[in-house]
């Protein structure tokens, strides 16, 4: 489970921003929208939403989390010495433009709380640290700091950290995370931290997912039935889904494709499997009518692509982060997807949903607790992130949507008055 995330000096984010999934002291919608972790004892939110004007930086908050995941997963095996790291500091300040980017994330995995952070420049890992709470008390397993004066990276380990420390230090490149490298060297102690990033933290883009994952679920009768139930609960009126696995066949390429290209594609795509998806609905006479997924509306296509990962997230207790959930979806579909997470009966494994949107119809105290709603605003080219709780809205009575649209909470686009130019 995700507890909180902080980022500094990244894209439009200059000063440190902190995003939290911690439950506040309020008792509103506790049974549905929050859950309690027994070990360690903590109460968290099932979902959170971030609102903000276009270009306010809400997507950059999502990108920052995604960038940290990418660094953890790929830095040890994909990067050669000297290769630049994919971080983008705040460029509208000369000092910030030359300074590194800082990430820190706190989460729970297998009953242990972890606090992991790193400071990253384009050329190296400047700092890196991991604090674990295996017995409730903090243990700083390792700290790594680049000493600019000596040009050396200094390490400090706690007695609780095990393994050949000298080997770990010597094999960790300046542009590689210590965490990632050590896991590649079969360190079992840090493997849960790495696996949390790899297996538990998932992302969806503006246009949702491809159809592949949902289509794959439909190849199993049980999961196909589950997917159909979720779709029809959203009033899709789908009677069946036919899926056909299609493997790449080099003979299907046009005859004028050069042999070198054919050989390359045959090697690269030899194990690639795609899926043909047909949506079945019965007509007024009960006869099945089949439409290819590409013939369906953009909204149906996006919902089909999303629902598979959503089901997987709910069944596996994952964290799902989606930018612009509302894109190509009806407001009621957005509300429906949110309701799946804000349900203790459906969300039995405490999955979490984090998303950005412009859709204000769900901005309601009937759907969200006040601590589940966040806003981004850009002032002087800098993104700020703040919670609805900062405004102390009246519990259960204040119209949050109206307050937001009227500018009470900020985070709205500034639109100048229309000026008529007369020749």
Q: What domains lie within the chain, and their CATH numbers?
A: 1-206+323-414 (3.40.50), 210-306 (no CATH)
pLDDT at 301: 87
List average pLDDT for each run of 10 residues in the chain, which is 423 residues long: 97 96 94 92 96 91 95 78 85 94 97 96 95 92 94 93 94 93 94 96 70 87 90 88 84 77 73 84 91 88 88 94 86 91 95 94 93 94 94 88 89 60 48
pLDDT at 51: 94
Residues contacting 320, CB < 8 A, separation 6+: 202, 203, 204, 309, 310, 313, 351, 352, 353, 354
Terminal CA-CA length for the chain: 61
Alpha helical stretches, state H, 207-361: 212-217, 221-233, 259-268, 298-316, 331-341
C-alpha pair distances (Å), 184 with each of 70, 73, 109, 371? 15, 10, 20, 39
Environment class of 6 (CB within 10 Å of its CB; exposed 0-12, middle 13-18, buried 19+): middle
Look at the pTM and tell me if it is higher than 0.75.
yes
pLDDT at 255: 74
pLDDT at 395: 86
Beta strands in 300-422 (DSSP E): 319-322, 352-356, 373-379, 382-387
pLDDT tens, position by position, 215-273: 988 988 998 999 999 888 888 889 999 999 888 777 777 877 788 877 777 777 676 77
Number of Cβ within a 10 Å radius of residue 48: 24
Exposure of 176 in the CB half-sphere (CA atoms within 13 A): 21
pLDDT at 423: 47
């Amino acid at each position: 489970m995700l507890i909180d995330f902080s980022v500094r000096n990244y894209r439009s984010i200059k000063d440190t921003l902190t995003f939290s999934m911690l439950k506040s002291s309020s008792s509103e919608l506790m049974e549905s929208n929050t859950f309690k972790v027994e070990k360690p004892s903590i109460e968290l939110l099932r979902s959170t939403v971030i609102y903000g004007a276009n270009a306010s930086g809400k997507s950059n908050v999502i990108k920052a989390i995604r960038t940290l995941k990418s660094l953890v997963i790929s830095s040890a095996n994909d990067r050669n010495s000297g290769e630049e790291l994919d971080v983008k500091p705040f460029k509208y300040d000369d000092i910030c433009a030359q300074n590194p980017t800082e990430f820190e994330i706190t989460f729970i995995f297998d009953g242990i709380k972890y606090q992991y952070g790193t400071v990253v420049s384009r050329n190296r890992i400047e700092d890196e640290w991991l604090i674990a709470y295996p017995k409730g008390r903090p243990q700083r397993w390792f700290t790594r700091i680049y000493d600019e004066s000596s040009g050396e990276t200094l390490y400090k380990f706690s007695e609780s950290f095990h393994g050949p420390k000298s080997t770990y230090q010597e094999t960790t490149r300046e542009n590689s995370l210590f965490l990632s490298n050590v896991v590649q060297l079969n360190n079992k102690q840090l493997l849960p931290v790495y696996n949390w990033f790899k297996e538990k933290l998932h992302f969806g883009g503006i246009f949702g997912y491809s159809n592949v994952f949902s289509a794959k679920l439909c190849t199993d009768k049980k999961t196909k039935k589950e997917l159909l139930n979720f779709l029809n609960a959203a009033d899709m009126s789908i009677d069946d889904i036919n899926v056909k696995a299609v493997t790449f066949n080099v003979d299907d390429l046009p005859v004028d494709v050069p042999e070198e290209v054919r050989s390359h594609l045959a090697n690269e795509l030899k194990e690639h499997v795609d899926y043909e998806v047909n949506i079945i609905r019965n007509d007024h006479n009960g006869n099945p009518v089949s439409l290819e997924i590409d013939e369906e509306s953009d909204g149906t296509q996006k919902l089909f692509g999303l629902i598979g990962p959503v089901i997987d997230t709910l069944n596996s207790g994952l964290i799902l982060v989606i930018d612009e959930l509302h894109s190509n979806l009806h407001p009621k579909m957005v509300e429906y997807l949110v309701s799946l997470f804000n349900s203790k009966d459906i969300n039995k494994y405490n999955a979490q949903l984090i998303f950005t949107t412009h859709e204000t119809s769900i901005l309601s105290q009937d759907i969200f607790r006040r601590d589940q709603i966040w806003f981004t605003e850009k002032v002087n080219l800098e993104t700020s992130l703040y919670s609805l709780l900062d405004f102390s809205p009246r519990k259960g009575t204040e119209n949050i949507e109206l307050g937001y649209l009227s500018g009470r909470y900020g985070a709205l686009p500034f639109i100048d008055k229309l000026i008529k130019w007369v020749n």
